[in-house]
């Protein structure tokens, strides 16, 4: 089998590329996905995210290695393993980040990725139901909408924010980011609108696009410094597909560097350890891993208004018949962006997601009663980790060393301490008086730095934004150049969140879609 383009990973980026590259009927495109089709109803029903937590079949189900600064805990890292990737299992919050994030990328060597250059791609990808303006587009494949249903407690959070002097912000992706408001979500007609729903379904019937699910890629074949083929498994059978033009890795921040290493691209010591013949010494592969660490402040709720004890049958019926009610909620309806006293520049350094329910351990640990959870994460972490192969077996999960709270100055920890203090202050506002019960987490009421630090080490978790492991740039530590080509290898690119030199100030799905939109233009122009 020979194709013009082979895309590995049908996630937030891969579905975009499959659509854009196959738009020319004379171009043959193969899209490979290790997971199944996105058939499960919990994927399409927004509130189904609460049920997806325990569904291993659509999730890579990773865990970090023991984290030295988090009491030796192994943190759970769910990543999408299904058509649409993580856009099929995420909370659907549509956030782009701050303009300065992208200008910083450009200053770090990612030429052409400044805010002025990337804004048109955000707008091109988007169909915002509010309409087009200087910041938003219409007519794109990614539908962006306001919630059809909101829990009354989500408005209470905004009232509490106003009582604490925080501005209200109707559009986090508009003229300014700071403030509290309701998130817009990647939904359409009350349903999740993943990149599979938006981009892939629009192209699925093209004769020149081949989609293969449950296809585990073993390696990219490198011949004389050029990526020429992909070897993958389907139902125990090894298949080889040739690429006439380019091969693209879109597996995300974990799978893309893993596949580069399995293909012989990376640091020599690690490859030798696993008996993999080195094709190119590229030590940056798997380095620069970083993520948003998240702390959950939880209070009990005295009134029966939360999502903890709901009539699932009634919710499902409302959703099935009318696409209305709590089933259309992404659960994290409201939130905000705040500049703490430690903020280094004009960007907010803390993001909040409010959940009108008790959400402990990603919802996997069900606690009795009713409650309210305020997530808070540090947006510009300084700590860096890495990943390594566990074995030469493509089915073996790599070792993830997130290395949270490891920066020498302790800055990341101090920002999160401020985040927990702010969360407490919001919950203790007059607006929450009719609802607020006892504090569950941190739980002792002690606002000292030592007490909050102990809580963070015991309970902080990922908010699902790993990036950076195939960093874009021009220095010796980068993996891809500003056109997303792998340094030193012809006809091979990486297009996903792994190429981000630094985390954006917010959720990473919309920026990943933007990266794929721009990458498609770069590829078609080459």
Residues 6+ apart with CB under 8 A from 107: none
Of 507, 526, 508, 494, which Cα lies nearest the Cα of 110? 494
Torsion of CA 65, 66, 67, 72, to 10 degrees: 170
Report d(CA 454, CA 417) in Å as an integer: 10
- The interaxial angle of helices 14-21 and 509-525, nearest 10 deg, is 30
Beta strands in 235-370 (DSSP E): 237-249, 265-266, 280-281, 293-301, 334-338, 350-355
Interior/surface letters 345-361, b for 16+ CB within 10 angstroms, e for the rest: eebbbbbbbbbbbbbbe
Residues 6+ apart with CB under 8 A from 321: none
Report d(CA 40, CA 62) in Å as an integer: 21
Structure tokens at 212: 């293969």
- Catalytic entry in 147, 292, 386, 465: 465
Which residue bears the tokens 């940056």? 284
How far is residue 332 CA from its own chain's centroid? 15
Report d(CA 30, CA 215) in Å as an integer: 11
DSSP single-letter state for residue 277: P
Contact indicator for 254, 466 with CB cutoff of 8 Å: yes
Known catalytic residue: 465? yes
Which stretches within 126-235 are classed as H helix?
152-163, 195, 201-203
Report d(CA 236, CA 355) in Å as an integer: 42
Strand partners of residue 216: 233
Give the three-state DSSP class for 413: helix
Report d(CA 467, CA 176) in Å as an integer: 24
* DSSP string for residues in 489-511: -BTEEE-SGGG-SS--SS-SHHH
Contact indicator for 146, 184 with CB cutoff of 8 Å: yes
Other beta carbons within 10 angstroms of residue 73's beta carbon come to 18
Structure tokens at 122: 């955000």
Catalytic residues: 465
């Amino acid at each position: 089998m020979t194709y013009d383009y082979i895309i590995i990973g049908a996630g937030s980026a891969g579905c975009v590329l499959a659509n854009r590259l196959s738009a020319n009927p004379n171009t043959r495109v193969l899209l490979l996905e290790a997971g199944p089709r996105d058939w499960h109803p919990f994927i399409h029903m927004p509130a189904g995210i609460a049920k997806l937590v325990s569904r291993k079949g659509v999730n890579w189900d990773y865990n970090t290695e023991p984290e030295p600064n988090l009491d030796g805990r192994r943190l759970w890292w769910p990543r999408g393993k299904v058509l649409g990737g993580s856009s099929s299992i995420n909370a659907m919050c549509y956030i782009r980040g701050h303009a300065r994030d992208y200008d910083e990328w450009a200053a770090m060597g990612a030429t052409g990725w400044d805010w002025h250059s990337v804004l048109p791609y955000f707008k091109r990808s988007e169909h915002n139901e509010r309409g087009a303006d200087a910041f938003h587009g219409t007519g794109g494949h990614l539908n962006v909408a306001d919630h059809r249903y909101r829990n009354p407690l989500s408005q209470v959070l905004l009232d509490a924010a106003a009582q604490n002097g925080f501005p209200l912000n109707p559009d986090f992706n508009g003229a300014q980011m700071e403030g509290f408001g309701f998130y817009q979500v990647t939904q359409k007609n009350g349903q999740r609108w993943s990149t599979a729903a938006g981009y892939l379904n629009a192209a699925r019937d093209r004769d020149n696009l081949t989609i293969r699910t449950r296809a585990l890629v073993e390696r990219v074949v490198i011949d004389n410094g050029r990526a020429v083929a992909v070897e993958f498994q389907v139902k125990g059978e090894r298949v080889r597909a040739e690429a006439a033009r380019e091969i693209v890795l879109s597996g995300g921040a974990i799978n893309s560097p893993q596949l580069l290493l399995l293909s012989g691209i990376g640091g020599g010591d690690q490859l030798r350890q696993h008996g993999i013949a080195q094709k190119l010494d590229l030590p940056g592969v798997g380095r620069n891993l970083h993520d948003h660490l998240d702390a959950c402040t939880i209070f009990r709720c005295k009134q029966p208004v939360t999502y903890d004890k709901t009539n699932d049958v009634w919710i499902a019926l409302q959703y099935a018949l009318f696409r209305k009610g709590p089933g259309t909620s992404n659960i994290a309806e409201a939130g905000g962006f705040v500049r703490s006293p430690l903020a280094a520049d004009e960007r907010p350094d803390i993001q909040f997601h409010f959940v009108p329910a008790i959400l402990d351990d990603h919802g996997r640990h069900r606690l009795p009663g009713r409650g309210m959870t305020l997530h808070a994460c540090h947006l510009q972490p300084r700590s860096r980790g890495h990943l390594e192969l566990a074995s030469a077996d493509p089915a073996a999960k790599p070792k993830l060393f997130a290395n949270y709270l490891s920066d020498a100055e302790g800055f990341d920890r101090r920002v999160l301490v401020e985040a927990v203090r702010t969360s407490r202050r919001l919950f203790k506002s007059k607006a929450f008086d009719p609802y607020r019960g006892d504090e569950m987490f941190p739980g002792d009421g002690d606002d000292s730095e030592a007490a909050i630090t102990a809580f963070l080490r015991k309970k902080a978790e990922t908010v699902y934004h790993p990036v950076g492991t195939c960093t874009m740039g021009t220095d010796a530590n980068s993996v891809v150049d500003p056109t997303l080509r792998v340094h030193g290898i012809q006809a091979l690119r990486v297009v996903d969140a792994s190429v981000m030199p630094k985390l954006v100030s917010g959720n990473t799905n919309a920026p990943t879609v933007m990266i794929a939109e721009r990458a498609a233009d770069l590829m078609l122009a080459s």
